[in-house]
Amino acid sequence: MITVESLTKTYGSFTAVDDVSFTAQPGRVTGFLGPNGAGKSTTMRVMVGLTAPGAGEVRVLGRRFKDLPDPGREVGVLLDASAQHAGRTGREILTIAALTMGLPRTRVDEMLERVSLTPDEASRRVRNYSLGMRQRLGIGTALLGNPQVLILDEPANGLDPAGIRWMRDLLRGFADDGGTVLLSSHLLHEIEVIADDIVVIGNGRIVAQGTKDELLAGAGTLVRSTDGVALATALTAAGITARPTSGGAVLAEAELARVGQAAFAAGIPVTELRAAEGAGLEEMFLSLTAESQRDVTSHTDPEGAAA
């Protein structure tokens, strides 16, 4: 269980993390979703005490991270797989982690096998590892102490498709076993496949959170034309709650036929018309990632995203 309460982190005048609150529950995989530079890594660094928070607090298993007596045994952390001494071998990196946690050496071999690093690969220096191999080693370090909580920053990066599948199964199993998993990603699809709960962050603020089913359940219609604003105005005039998102798309709270008719009546050519089904989240995420729309909050009024 991880509890983040009103976390804020500023660098000079720049607010990297802005009043962020959420919890990651045991038995569930919590996806921490946000575009590049949204503040995911910063939040995670604060969680594990590598960065001091400006305001707010994080508790892992009910305690502040620095108060955990032997953190590796309770919380597995992977922040940056490349942040290792390049001159150490993979096996050595697991060995020093195992020694720090007071684990038997046999645990290192077990773990190397678990993350599919061959003895030959394990004896190479990390300098010569591919990104995927580093990622496996990092996941191995996180799992080494048989923790109850996993905090993983973009763990899928660099993994091959088989590796991604393996990681998904691993995290699923970990959560089903009662463990807490928090993983970040900038890919909606990744999170959709793996997470039970989703927390979406943009420009340092939480813009949506809930269970995957709730967030992805789309009541309503997605309709697109070349001029989204005009379309939304026309739909509103027809008595339909509608909200333009990005790329000419509009989210409307009415069934397909009614939305289509209203657009036809207004004489606006429609390029796409379909049931929203998670489009709310997708559109919101797209608008977050769109460079031109840094001011994300205006698009995400409560009813809209809940649609």
Partner 1 sequence: MNSSTVDVRTAPDPVTATPGERARSVPAPTPFRRVLNVELRKMFDTRSGYWLMVSIVGLSILATAAVIVFAPDDEITYESFATAIGFPMSIILPMIAILAVTSEWSQRSGLTTFTLVPSRGRVIGAKATATFLVGLVSMVVAFAVGALGNLVGSALLGADTVWNISFETVPQIVLGNLVGMAIGFTLGVVLRNSPAAIVGYFVVSLVLPGILLLLAQVRDWFEDLQPWIDWNYTQVNLFDGATDTAREWAMLGTTSAIWIVFPLIVGVWFLRRSEVK
Partner 2 sequence: MSTATLTTQDTAPVTARRTDVRPAPAPTPFRRVVNVELRKMFDTRSGFWLMASIVIASVIATGLTIILGDREDLTFDSFAASVGSPMSIVLPIIGVLAVTSEWSQRTALTTFTLVPSRRRVLGAKLLNALAIGAVSMVVALGVGALGNLVTAAINGTDPVWDIASSTFAQIVLANELGMLLGFALGLLFRNSPAAIVGYFVINLVLPGLSGALGAAQAWWADNAGWFDLNQTRFLLFDSTLSGQEWVQLGLTSALWIALPLAIGLRLVLRSEVK
What residues make contact with partner 1 under the rule CB under 8 A? Answer: 1, 19, 21, 25-28, 45, 48-52, 61, 65-66, 68-74, 77, 79-80, 82-88, 92-93, 95-97, 99-102, 125, 141, 148, 177-180, 196, 205-211, 214-215, 297, 300, 302, 305-306
Q: Is the separation of the CB atoms in 203 and 24 below 8 Å?
A: no
Q: Beta strands of the chain (E only): which ranges? A: 2-11, 14-24, 29-33, 55-60, 75-78, 149-152, 180-185, 197-202, 205-211, 221-224, 242-244, 249-252, 272-275
Q: C-beta of 29: minimal distance to partner 1 in Å?
A: 11
Smaller CB distance to partner 2: residue 71 or 244?
A: 244
Query: Which of partner 2, Mg ion, ligand ADP, none lies near 38, with the C-beta cut-off 5 to 8 A by kind?
Result: ligand ADP
Q: Which of residues 21-80 bind ligand ADP (CB under 6 A)?
A: 34, 36-42
Asked if residue 183 binds ligand ADP (CB under 6 A), the reply is no
Measure CA of the first residue to CA of the last residue in the chain; give whole Å. Answer: 29
Amino acid at 186: H
Query: Which of partner 2, ligand ADP, partner 1, none lies near 88, with the C-beta cut-off 5 to 8 A by kind?
Result: partner 1
Smaller CB distance to ligand ADP: residue 195 or 259?
A: 195
Instruction: Note the residues at the interface with partner 2 (CB under 8 A).
Output: 127-128, 224, 246-249, 271-272, 286, 289-292
Q: Any bridge partners for residue 5, and if so which?
A: 57
Query: Which of partner 1, partner 2, ligand ADP, none lies near 104, with the C-beta cut-off 5 to 8 A by kind?
Result: none
Q: Please give the full DSSP string across 191-237, using - where no structure is assigned.
A: HHHH-SEEEEEETTEEEEEEEHHHHH---SEEEE-S-HHHHHHHHHH
How many whole angstroms separate alpha carbon 221 and alpha carbon 251?
6
Query: Which of ligand ADP, partner 2, partner 1, none lies near 302, with the C-beta cut-off 5 to 8 A by kind?
Result: partner 1
Q: Is the separation of the CB atoms in 46 and 8 below 8 Å?
A: no
